[in-house]
Structure 1
Amino acid sequence: MDLLQDAQVDLGAPPLEPFRFGDDLEEDEEDEGDDEEEVAKIGEEAFTAASLPPARSTNYTEAEDILLVRAWAAVGMDASTGTDQTGKRYWQRIEDNYCRIKPKNSGFISRTYRSLQGRWELMKPACARWSADMDQVKDAPPSGTVESDYETIAGMRYKEMAASKGKPFPFKHAWAILQTFDKWKLRDQETAPKKSAMLRMDDSEDEEERNLGKPEGTKKGKLRVKMEGEASSLREKMEHMMKAREELTTKTLETKLLITKKKKEVKLAQVEAKREEAKRKADLEERMIKLKEAKVWKELMVEEKEHMMMSKKDMDHNQLQWWKDYKEDIAERKMMFRGASSTFRGDTPMSSCGDGGVDDSTGAYGDA
């Protein structure tokens, strides 16, 4: 008891290593062990490590934040890719760019694309709130303030925002770089990465390009064969749809051409029918005219015959003169009728005496 009371204990001294009996013997036995025991131990350690939760990565430094900002801006401003891609592929490209621009032998730990994405999702809303506060102060500065006071006033407003939870803006180092990029200025117009199931095949192909050196496992091979089969089936369906569409278009065009041809035939038939009807009417009118002309000619011949049948024996000089004048009038009308008529051209059936009339040179009727 006296020894314990008199002893002095140094609380700052490092702890003593525990005494382990038989450690040397166990080390010799391990050296003499076969390969199967080593494999079993390694497998057990790997199983134990896999069952434990992953260790939390260290916090980001200001230099890493700046690298992330530059990688994000470079990928988004690339005209060949932009943001027209899946979320996974988008952040894998940011990860690739981050590793490419990271200085060699810098001592920075490796960051996965999920870690970079999580850090960015923390930085972006904070920088957006800070940007809004700075814009408000610049647009409507409080009276009596100068430009050097803007950042202090914006910092006070930032802490008062509910999302900031009373904490100051922690990313001024990233904001100084971020505000210079056009992509940040147009962040409200940025298209969100696609999440369509149709692009999962592209993500798998992209993952294969990132892991070309790794052997393909059985599960991965089956998945690749399955996706290739689905892609082949999809291509066949698309080709069948395109072929059916082409056939439908061809049939529609043929139907339209047939309808147009039928319309032309009907129109030609209608024109021909109208032409035949007009010809029939013209023939009918011509026959009617001929009948009228024949009737007029017949009446004229009857009138001439009756006039020639009149007896001139008892006529005096005046009556005889009238008879001659009337005869000349009939002859003149016959001549005019012949010139205008389309039926009686040349001699008529009653023109055996030259002009179709009755010759009185013999005086047969005159002496009757």
Structure 2
Amino acid sequence: MTVTDTATLAEDLAAARRRTLDLVAHLDRADVERQIAPIMSPLVWDLGHIAAYEDLWLVHRHAGLDLLRPDLAALYDAFETPRAVRGDLEILGLDEAVAYMAEVRARTLAALDRVGPDPVIHEMVLRHELQHTETMRQAMSIAGLLPPGEPRLPSFGPGPAADEWLDVPAGTFGLGAPDGRFSYDNERPRHAVDLPAFSIARRPVTNGTWMRFVEGGGYERREWWSDEGWAWKEEYDITHHASVEAGDEDAPACHVSWFEAEALARWVGARLPTEPEWEKARERLDGVGLVWEWTASEFGGYPGFVAHPYREYSEVFFDSEYRVLRGGSWATHPRVATTTFRNWDLPQRRQLFAGVRLARDPEGLPR
């Protein structure tokens, strides 16, 4: 979706803002302002960052006006202030951050009326805010602060589809975003990829399957783990995430790291799908959008990649051990979770609402 109509865009921006503020409405001020974990920002930092990013792109760069608060530019720059230090900084408090968001929004709407929309910049800023509400939910999940009714991970229910594999024939297909709609730079350019035949699981791995892995020595048997994964597991005394054991056995497993996903795949006698395999099979899969799904692929640029509108969105993360996730989660806004959207994180991270869908070569057999 790319909106170029001024009135509709203003409505969409307003809806995203309501979504953001509603997310923290049930929380005490102290919980909004504290840093929950070193790998996550204080929730109030996200609020200030959302406003600063909007002012930078939609008011300063698009409309040519001075920043509303140039003194906050470095404070809310994600590269200038890494997550680990954000809790130690003198950032805006909750009331100040909400007021800053409102002031920036008034400037944005005035600039929109005067200059008109940019189909790339405005959509990017809108989706940026939607993405941050998922990041905020990750922090809230760590602290047990999610709103009532979340997470939303329905049960698949028992049935033959639970263990069903889909055969995908060999062939060439177009990987990446087509022209004519908004997409991020790392989704482009669309290009032809030749794939051999493969099979992919109809559903993501469930909590029940994950617990069978645990009970079968999954976190004790060295042969199922990579060298890096085993070293991480041993150093931090890793076992299965509490949500896997507590969740419905027929619901998708969540809060799974790439290292764990790879180990479980070996236990099954399968593997993780590559990113092209996942995208080619996507339309035939059940449960897409419940948990992010790890792929075997490292995050990098497609052939002919060009950074736009700034290289810090994607390019600085290329070829740095980050792995690609696909599909979106229950916390991802549908506007963000497109077929070609690429998420990425380090292989040890478990704060994401991430699970795994397995793949195998035609000759492979599940255990």
Quick check: which has more Rg, 1 or 2? 1
Q: Shorter-normalised TM-score: what interval?
A: under 0.3
The TM-score normalised by the length of structure 1 is: 0.20
User: Which structure features the higher share of strand residues?
Assistant: 2
User: Which structure features the higher share of helix residues?
Assistant: 1
The TM-score normalised by the length of structure 2 is: 0.20
**Which of 1 and 2 has higher RCO (CA within 8 Å, sep 6+)?**
2
